[in-house]
Chains A and B, each alone.
Chain A
Amino acid sequence: MIGWKIFYLLVFPGLLFTGVLGLIVGWVDRKLSARLQFRVGPPFFQNFNDFLKLLGKETIIVKDSIKSVFVATPLAAFGFLVLISTMIGLALFFHEGFVGDLFVIMYLLMIFSVLVILGGSSTGNVYSSIGSGREIKLLLADELAFILICLIPIIKSGYQIQLKNILEVQSVQGPFISSVSGAIAFVIGILCIQAKMTLPPFHIPEAETEIVGGPYMEYSGPLLAFWQLNHYMMFVIYPFLLIALFLGGFDLHGIGILWAVLKYLLIIVIMILIKNTNPRIRIDTALNFFWRYATPISFIGIILAVFGV
């Protein structure tokens, strides 16, 4: 029994599966972006090579930093992401879970952002601090909309707060995206993901050309490798969460496998297209967008969901 739990955590659907799939999807992201810009793009094993190379480089612990926080944050963030991916994967692939796991997932995802903020502000670098400050503002902007759209599937499934039960309701009624409120929530959800993963147009905290990488600026070697891996793992976690909440999860029998891959690719490709067609926006524009438009629209979605539309 305990052996299986360790297997879930370390191999499938936890660490190994999410890490490897994340790096592969990261390659899809880079390759597709390159093709959209009429470039050739990197080879298939690029992200693996990047990761392994960074593991072997020298780690510089910045003299002015709070050393324990500086070292602990990337590793802790990695641990949390492994935990989240295991929970989502268990619900998706094995139909297991516990009551309220959706709330725990939302809570842990927020902790990840907090860890980025902590890591950035522990370095004692001005640009990193600016990046952390922007990350806080971005978190304030997208968090409320994200929580609201996560409530919509809960309401539509008759107030189930377990991912497994939400998936079961969807397999009977059809995926929630086919209803009006579900569709609204899905669209807002993709935009929230874009902001939570700090992908363009919401890469305000990182902004390579402006504040040289923001919170990650001072990280080097293995610690940077873990930040990179965290970023790519989120390419798995957030789409899987959206699939579980709105697209009816995976049906891994026969033709269902093809559908599963297509669902996943659909979300990834939409994200990459948004990423490649939008320039970076200012932080006040982002706040404006989420508070003026996204959050009220998700409120409307909730009202629609309560009336069962």
Chain B
Amino acid sequence: MGWYNKRLAKSLWVFHVSGSPCNNCDIEILDLITPAFDVERFGLKLVGSIRHADVLLVTGIFNQKIAPRIKKIYEQAPKPIFVVAVGTCMSGDCCFKDSYNKVKKREDIIPIDLYIPGCPPKPEAMIAGVVKLIGVLNG
């Protein structure tokens, strides 16, 4: 599978879904495709449909209402799919830690492969995270 993983590492297509964030992380994610950071040089591309995606980018705490939908989106994705969690929200609840409606454990809903902390993380930090994923795939 090594050969195929190398191909996969060179063309990760990203589908972005926001699971009740404060929306700042989503704005920062869009920075990644601007001329200053341009992740297309790594072969990353934002796609519009989950059926085309290799990476599921999630932001925010999952609240009770969005959790089943996230699960559904994950199940609709063609495997192999990697879940990248962007923001401190995903790794440590951040400013929503006392919310009454957040799910207890996000990992029960979908398996998460990579956390990128930061509130919001800088685009450089996100690129560093994605490059780590590429490095793991390349072995």
Contacts and interface: CB of A to CB of B under 8 A. Distances in A.
Interface of A: 30, 34, 37-43, 45-46, 49-50, 52-53, 56-60, 208-209, 212-213, 216-221, 224
A208 B45 CA distance: 12
Contacts of B10: 43, 45-46, 49, 53
Contacts of B92: none
Contacts of A50: 11, 43
13 contacts: A37-B35, A39-B38, A40-B40, A43-B41, A46-B11, A53-B7, A53-B10, A57-B80, A58-B80, A212-B48, A213-B47, A219-B51, A224-B52
A58 B78 CA distance: 5
B26 interface: no
A46 B78 contact: no
Nearest to B38: A39
A34 B42 CA distance: 13
Provide the main secondary structure of the chain B interface.
loop
Given A43-B43, A58-B80, 9 more contacts: A40-B40, A43-B41, A46-B11, A52-B7, A53-B54, A60-B76, A208-B48, A218-B49, A218-B51
B33 to A, nearest CB: 8
A49 B40 contact: no
A56 B7 contact: yes
B121 to A, nearest CB: 21
A39 B76 contact: no
Contacts, number: 77
B35 to A, nearest CB: 4
A217 B8 CA distance: 20
A77 to B, nearest CB: 18
Given A57-B78, A60-B78, A213-B52, A49 B11 contact: yes
B78 A30 contact: no
A53 B11 contact: yes
Contact of B52 (A38, A209, A220): A220
Provide the main secondary structure of the chain A interface.
loop
B100 interface: no
Interface size range of chain B in the complex: 20 to 34
B43 A49 contact: yes
B7 A49 contact: yes
Given A49-B7, A220-B78, A34 B49 contact: no
B67 to A, nearest CB: 22
A124 to B, nearest CB: 13
Interface in B47-62: 47-49, 51-52, 54
Contacts of B54: 53, 57
A73 B134 CA distance: 34
B7 A220 contact: no
Contacts of B35: 37-39
A159 to B, nearest CB: 47
Nearest to A208: B48
Contacts of A52: 4, 7
Contacts of A40: 38, 40-41
Nearest to A212: B48
B78 A56 contact: no
Nearest to A62: B51
B79 interface: yes
A219 B47 CA distance: 13
A60 B76 CA distance: 8
A56 B8 contact: yes
Nearest to A224: B52
Contacts of A53: 4, 7-8, 10-11, 54
A213 B47 CA distance: 9
A34 B4 CA distance: 27
